Amino acid sequence: MESLLSISMALIFSSLGFLHVYWGLGGQWGFAAALPQTTTGVRVLNPGPFECWVVALGLFGFAALALAKGGFLQLPLKAMWGCWAMRSLVLIFGLRALGDFHYVGFFKTVKGTLFAGLDTAYYSPLCLVLSIMAAILSWKC
């Protein structure tokens, strides 16, 4: 089971990482739908290429961590640091699923925008699933 979770997480993180690389190179497909908006349609965040690349690197790092927890990859970390890193993913994605109580997450108050609909249907549930998967992988630490 750990192998399946590890590979699944790595595939999800890598796919999201490549999407951020695409945006970092100037691609526009899906970009507007991935950013929270006010009720008037104004974006709350306006990331540039640098921010996209930073997020991409982080996502690829999360993918490597997942593969390491599944035994598919050796990272130059002590086992304890790998465990704490995986536990931090539980927190990061769990908090993202809950949201900021305004623009993102299950408990957002701004609704009716393109992002809000996609966040409720896809983004927040995915974050919750990633948090649960990370919790399972970090259980034996």
Task: Give the residue extent of every domain in the chain.
Answer: 2-138
- Rounded to 5°, the CA angle 109-110-113 comes to 145
Report residue 106 as tokens: 């299950």
Q: What is the pLDDT of residue 82?
A: 84
Q: What is the pLDDT of residue 27?
A: 97
Report residue 72 as tokens: 């598919």
Phi, psi of 37 (to 5 degrees): -130, 155
Q: Which residues of the chain have pLDDT under 50?
A: none
Of 77, 52, 51, the closest CA to residue 64 belongs to: 77
Are 33 and 118 spatial neighbours (Cβ–Cβ below 8 Å)?
yes
Q: What is the pLDDT of residue 78?
A: 81
Q: What is the pLDDT of residue 123?
A: 98
Chain-centre distance for alpha carbon 8: 13
DSSP 48-62: -HHHHHHHHHHHHHH
